[in-house]
Amino acid sequence: MGMMHNGRQSLFGGTLKVGSNDAKRATAWEDYGYPDTLDFTNFYSMFQRNGIARAGVMRAVEKTWETDPWLVEGQEGDDPHSDWTPWEKAVQKVFRETHLFNRLNAADWRGRVGRYAALYLVFADGQHPDQPVSNGRALLKAQPIFESQLTVTSWITDPASPDYGMPAMYQFNQAALGNENPGAHESLQIHPDRIHIIAEGADDDSIYGMSALEPGFNDLLTIEKIIGAGGEGFWKAARGAWALEGETDAQKLADMFGVKQDEVADRMNEVASDFASGMDKLLLLGGMKASSLSFSVPTPKEFFDVAMQSFAASVSCPMPILIGQQISQRSSDENSQEWAQTIMSRRKRFIGPNLEQLVRKLMRFGVLPSIENFYCAWGDLTEPSVSDKLANAKTMSEINKNTMGTGIEVPFQANEIRDAGGFDADPDLDNDGIGEDDNGEQGQTAGSTSQQPQPGADDTADR
């Protein structure tokens, strides 16, 4: 995995060996063309040039940040409050002025490309970046940076320190991604106070997680081979392959090509290569006979699908969602529901706690007021859509309607139906959802499919 964190490896016992898992064929990966070790350069190149790899990185990030979270003062599970508290207003102000949600989004996908990404936090404290942050200073900006741009130059090696094994100093180098902008080659030493790490999969509290592309990297290479070979095969089938046969004098060919006799073979290869590179090129035969070799390009769909399914599994994303495939409505709904649950888990287990960690850092440095209890809240991606809610309310109402007259109590109260449809409860409705008509008899359950008087009609509904 490269040499970027050897210092930490020495603290915790090194890394596990990677390579072929085939006990009989230790060089199987080499035979397949798979690299034995991977580093950021492999992941970044794959992300930039492979559409499936890009989707594997971005799909989860796009869905996670489909809506922004909000920070709530109090403990999760407390009764909600309708008005913003002063602390919540301060959080909103800082996040709005520094575009922190957008910057976290940008750092999130950068972290999925590599093993980690970071936000470089710039404070208005007048200190050099290699110094700790002075308290009570404003946050000016947050710059998202890739793994290759931020390396650890020293580690905390004191076992008595609560931060044992964590970075003591970083080095920031913009040019690590080939950035040629003015000042891009500047290298800075940055104190950990000014760095916020995003490392998905770093369950040991280190800064090193796992690239989203690592588990399925072999599958991505297989996909590239299939696509590339298919394109080249189609070209060659359309262009045609030719074989040259016949006897000819080597000196005669040398004279024809204007080269020495021992250079004839190389010159003929050049001629053949030039001929194969275009549709309208002519072939200089020199007395030999050219015959066409016909072949058909095999259909690689089965092999492609296996590699795609394996990669989709590696990023925990249903394949139809990963590639935008349209399938049957039922399967699509099931995939969407499963994907929404996956992303809600990612919000709760990774992004939410990471955001809370950033807020605690900002409180520690006086950018935000300090409070004891707060949490990160998100909208529910698994919540039914408006049309689904109305359909549920309609179904509940029809069940009530079919139950009436059977002697069985209707199962749903009126306000339960309103809640299922996405409407606020109406305190004027009877608890059991059954009103009385003008004749003193039980009427339809609220929310039933029977026709109700419209606003402005002569008769008004008894609510």
* Cα dist from 18 to 3, 75, 215, 336, whole Å: 15, 43, 12, 35
Alpha carbon distance 203, 271 (integer Å): 58
* pLDDT band of 434, cuts 50, 70, 90: very low
Determine the pLDDT at residue 26.
80
Same domain, 71 and 209: yes
Determine the pLDDT at residue 458.
41
Alpha carbon distance 170, 196 (integer Å): 11
Residues 6+ apart with CB under 8 A from 397: 412, 417, 445, 447, 448, 449
Same domain, 68 and 148: yes
Domain-embedded: residue 323: no
Same domain, 228 and 373: no
Alpha carbon distance 405, 131 (integer Å): 79
* pLDDT band of 194, cuts 50, 70, 90: very high
Q: Please tell me whether residue 14 adopts helix, strand or coil conformation.
A: coil
Q: Would you give the end-to-end CA distance of the chain in angstroms?
A: 69
Domain-embedded: residue 1: no
Q: Can you tell me the mean pLDDT for 424-451?
A: 51
Domain-embedded: residue 3: no
Domain-embedded: residue 134: yes
Question: By the 8 A CB rule, do 107 and 207 touch?
Answer: no
Domain-embedded: residue 370: yes
In this predicted structure, the answer to whether residue 457 has a pLDDT above a threshold of 80 is no
In this predicted structure, the answer to whether residue 60 has a pLDDT above a threshold of 60 is yes
Same domain, 435 and 287: no
Same domain, 65 and 123: yes
Same domain, 57 and 190: yes
In this predicted structure, the answer to whether residue 345 has a pLDDT above a threshold of 50 is yes
Least confident range of 31-35, 46-50, 77-81, 126-130? 77-81
What is the residue whose two structure tokens read 């996670």?
A: 64
* pLDDT band of 111, cuts 50, 70, 90: very high
Least confident range of 84-93, 186-195, 317-326, 422-431? 422-431
Q: Which two tokens stand for residue 368?
A: 């935000």
Question: By the 8 A CB rule, do 206 and 167 touch?
Answer: no
DSSP string, 22-82: -TT-TTHHHHHT--SS--HHHHHHHHHH-HHHHHHHHHHHHHHTTS--EEEES-TTSPP-S
Alpha carbon distance 275, 245 (integer Å): 16
Greater pLDDT, 329 or 424: 424
pTM: 0.74
Domain-embedded: residue 268: yes
Domain-embedded: residue 28: no
Same domain, 66 and 164: yes
Q: Which two tokens stand for residue 253?
A: 């060919």
Question: Cα-atom radius of gyration of the chain, to the nearest Å?
Answer: 33
The mean of the pLDDT values for the chain is 80
CA torsion angle 313 315 317 319 (round to 10) = -60
Q: Across 171-180, 343-352, 404-413, which has the greatest mean pLDDT?
A: 343-352
Alpha carbon distance 120, 145 (integer Å): 7
Q: Can you tell me the mean pLDDT for 91-106?
A: 97
Same domain, 305 and 201: no
Determine the pLDDT at residue 204.
74
CA torsion sign for 251, 256, 260, 266 is negative
What is the residue whose two structure tokens read 């359309």?
A: 238
Determine the pLDDT at residue 431.
52
| Beta bridge partner(s), residue 119 | 144, 196
Domain-embedded: residue 435: yes
The count of domains in the chain is 4
Question: By the 8 A CB rule, do 42 and 325 touch?
Answer: no
Comparing CA positions, the residue from 397, 440, 398, 401 lying closest to residue 415 is 397
Same domain, 286 and 162: no
Residues of the chain with pLDDT > 90: what percent? 47
In this predicted structure, the answer to whether residue 460 has a pLDDT above a threshold of 50 is no
Determine the pLDDT at residue 31.
84
At 375-398, the pLDDT tens digits run 999 999 988 777 777 888 888 888
Same domain, 223 and 158: no
Same domain, 346 and 403: no
**Owning domain of residue 279:** 241-293
Q: Please tell me whether residue 152 adopts helix, strand or coil conformation.
A: strand
In this predicted structure, the answer to whether residue 32 has a pLDDT above a threshold of 70 is yes
Q: Please tell me whether residue 205 adopts helix, strand or coil conformation.
A: coil
Determine how many CB atoms are found less than 10 A away from the CB of residue 421. Answer: 18
Question: By the 8 A CB rule, do 334 and 56 touch?
Answer: no
Q: Can you tell me the mean pLDDT for 288-298?
A: 63
Q: Can you tell me the mean pLDDT for 133-159?
A: 93
Same domain, 206 and 344: yes
What is the residue whose two structure tokens read 């104190």?
A: 191
At 261-273, the pLDDT tens digits run 777 677 767 766 6
